[in-house]
Structure 1
C-alpha cells in the first residue's frame, strides 16, 4: 500500500490529538474530583446565547468534527482504502463485525431494562486514541496495519453516524419535516454548485451553516449535517485543485487541538465516588465494558476471518489474523464517539455519568491490553503467517 501525503498528515494529527485527549481527560477527571469541582462544572453550564457552553460544544463544534469525518470518508472513497470493492471489502467487513458483535453483547446484557437504548455506545471506535496508541509502538508497526486500523475506524465512525441518524433523534425536539425539508433543499443546492464546478468555499461554508441550523431545529441531530455537507464539497484527485482536500487539511489541527480537547474537557467532568463504583455491576456498565473490550476484537477478527476465507478479500502484506485481533482490541477504545452516543441515548444524568465512566474504564483497558498485545505480536516483523 502506498502512503499519500494527506494520509501521513492525517495520521500525525490524529496521533498528536489522541495524546492531547488523554491529558485533557485526566485533567478533567482530576478537577471534577477536587475541591474546585463545583467551579469546574459551572464553566460548562455558563449560558451563551440561550444555551449552556457544553451544548454549543456538543451540537455546534462537534458538527465540524463530523464534517471532517465526512471529508476523510469521501477521500477514502475516491482515492483511498475504499476506492474499489477489493480495497473496501476488508475494512468494511472488519468494521461491520466491530459494530454488530458489541451491540449484540450489549443487547444480551441489557435486554428488558430501560438502558437498552444504549446499544449504540459500544459500536464506536475513537480514531485519535486508537492511532495514538498504535503509534506509540514505533517503527515496528507496518504501514499496512496502520492503514487498516485507520480505514476500519473511519468506516466504524460512518456506522456510528448512521446509527445516530436512525435511532437517536434530538431528544429535545419533535421531528419537524418543514425544517428538515429546508435543510435537504439547501443540500441539493450545494450539490448543484458542486456539479457546476463552483469551488468558492464561501458558498459551501454559508450553505453548510444553514444546513446545520435547520437540521438542528428539525429534530434530527445537527451533527449529521456535518457529514452530509462534506459530500457536497468539490473533490479532485489533485490535492492542489481539490477544495475538499484543502478544507480537510485546514481542519485537522483545529479539530485535533481545539474541538476534541474541548469535547473531552466538557464531557469527562465525572465525579467518582463509592456510589459510582457500585454501579459497575449493573447491566449498563457490563454491557459497555464487555461490548468494547470483548466484543470489538472478537467481532473485527471473526468478520475479517470470514471475509478472507470466503475469498471476498485478502489480508495486506504484514497483516495476519493475530495482528487483526490486536488491532481489534484497540478498536475497543470508544471514547469520543461512545461518549457522544451515550448523551443521545439517555436523558437520565445518572445513566449518562455511569455510561461515561464505564466508557473511560473500557477504553483505558482496551488501550493498555491492545498496546501490549501488539507489542508482543510485532516483535518479529517478518512473521506474516496467519
Structure 2
C-alpha cells in the first residue's frame, strides 16, 4: 500500500493527455469544416432518459457536461479526500497554500479585467469570465510537460483547480442563478447523509455506491444546480478505510475502476463537445476587440500573478508552505498553467453575455478564452520544461558501482 496510491491511478498520463488534445483539435476541425452544421446539430440534439415514471431530457452537450463530467469531479473529489487524510495535504500548512492560491487566482484576473475595462472599454459584465481554471486541460498539459517534477505539484494544481472551480460555481449561483428548487436539493443532501452513516457501519458494495451517486446526480439536475458540486460532495462520504474484514478500501476501488474511463472516455468526449469554435467570417477588429484582450490578459497575466502572489504570501506569513520538494520556478510554471480557463470560462461567458452562439459578444468571449488559454499553455510548458531540466541537473547522481575484487 503506497502513500502515493491515488496519484498512480488519477494522473492523466501522457497518452490520455494526447487523447484530450486530439479531441479538442478534432472539435476545431469539425466546427470549421463543410460539415460544421452537422457537428453543431449533433451537440444540440435532445435525448431523453426514462426510468419508470422518471424522465430527463438533455441535449448531447448537456449530457456530456452535466452527466459524464460528474464522474470526473467525483474522481477529483476522491483524490482530494485521500490527499487530505493520507497524503500531501495532511499538513494544514500545505493545504492552506493551494486554497489561498486559488483565491488569489480569482482576485488577480478580476482586477486585471476591471483595470482593462476602464482603460480600453471592455464590457464591465465580463469580469467573472477569466476567474476559472479548467481542471481537465490543466492536468492534461501538466502530464505532457511535467515529467520529472515533484508529484506534490500535481496535488497542488489539482487542489487549487477544484477550489477555483467551486468558487466559480458559487459565483455563478450568486450572479446568474434564477432560483434553486429546494425540495430535490434537500433530498440529495439527506440521501448523502444516509449513505454516509450506513457506509460507516455496513460494507456497501460498488453497485450500491453507484446507485447512490446516480440518485444524488438526478436530484441535483432536478434542483437546477451544477452536478460538479454534488459530485465532489459525494466523494467526501466514500470511506477511505478498508472494509471490515478485508484490505479493500471503497475509495481505492473507485479510483482504480473509474480511472481508465475518466482519462480515455470522459475527458476526450468533453473536449470534443466544448472545443468546437467556428472562426468563419472573423475580422481583425473582432479578434482584438477590448473584450477579447481583457479576457485573454485576465487569464494569462491575472491568473499567474494572483496564484503566485498568494502562494508566496502564504509562505512568507508562515500560514502555508510550498509543495514538498518544489522550487519557486516550478510553482511559477504551475501558476501560469492556471490561466487555462477553457471550460468554465466559456460557460460563464455564455451567462454573462446571453445570446446566440454567433453574436459579437459570444465570438469575442470564445476568442479571449481560447487565446488566453493557449498563451498560458505554451508559456507554462516552457517554464516547466526549464524547471524540470534544472531539477535533473541538480539531482544527486548515483555512485558508480565498484569493480568486483
- Same structural fold, with TM-score higher than 0.5 when normalized by the shorter chain: yes
Q: Are the counterparts in 2 of residues 126 and 333 from structure 1 also a CA contact under 8 Å?
A: yes
C-alpha contact (below 8 Å) 1:95/1:300 kept by paired residues: yes
Cα separation, partners in 2 of 1:67 and 1:316, compared to 1, 3 Å: closer
Decide whether the 8 Å contact of 2:129 with 2:295 is kept in 1.
yes
2:194 match: 189
- The equivalent of 1:323 in structure 2 is 330
Provide the residue aligned with 1:364 in structure 2: 374
Q: What's 1:7 paired with?
A: 7
Counterpart check, 1:209 vs 2:214: yes
Task: Give the direction of change, closer, same or farther, for the CA distance of 1:55–1:251 in structure 2 (3 Å limit).
Answer: same
Counterpart-to-counterpart distance in 1, 2:175 and 2:283: 27
Q: 1:254 aligns with which of 227, 237, 261?
A: 261
- In the aligned structure 2, how far is the partner of 1:21 from the partner of 1:353? 23
Higher mean C-alpha deviation, range 371-380 or range 203-212: 371-380
Task: Output the aligned Cα RMSD.
Answer: 3.0
Match in the other structure for 1:130: 138
Does structure 1 residue 99 correspond to structure 2 residue 99?
no
**Deviation digits for residues 29-77 of structure 1, max 9, x if unmatched?**
1111111111222221222114321121112112222222211221121
- Shift of residue 173, structure 1, vs aligned partner: 6.3
State whether residues 340 and 372 of structure 2, in contact with CA within 8 Å, keep that contact through their aligned partners in structure 1.
yes
In structure 1, the residue corresponding to 2:34 is in which secondary structure?
coil
Distance 2:306 2:118 in 1: 20
TM-score (norm 2): 0.82
Quote the offset at 1:293 in angstroms: 0.9
1:217 aligned counterpart, secondary structure? helix
Contact residue 174 and residue 218 of structure 1 kept, 8 A: no
User: C-alpha separation between the residues in 2 aligned to 1:296 and 1:306?
Assistant: 15
TM-score by structure 1 length?
0.86
**Secondary structure, in 3 states, of the residue corresponding to 2:223?**
coil
Select the structure of larger CA radius of gyration: 2
- Name the count of aligned residue pairs: 379
Residue pair 1:18, 1:128 contacting (<8 A) in 2 also? no
CA contact (8 A) 1:125 1:335 kept: yes
Call closer, same or farther: CA 1:211–1:379 in 2, change over 3 Å: closer
Distance 2:201 2:125 in 1: 43
Where does structure 1 lack aligned partners over 5 or more consecutive residues? none
Q: Provide, for residues 95-151 of structure 1, a one-character-per-residue CA deviation record: whole Å limited to 9, x for no partner.
A: 332222123323444589996555443233334433443444475x332xx422432
Instruction: State the match for 1:40 in structure 2.
Output: 39
Q: Which residue does 1:79 correspond to in 2?
A: 86
Distance in 2 (alpha carbons) for counterparts of 1:183 and 1:276: 48
SS at match of 1:142: coil
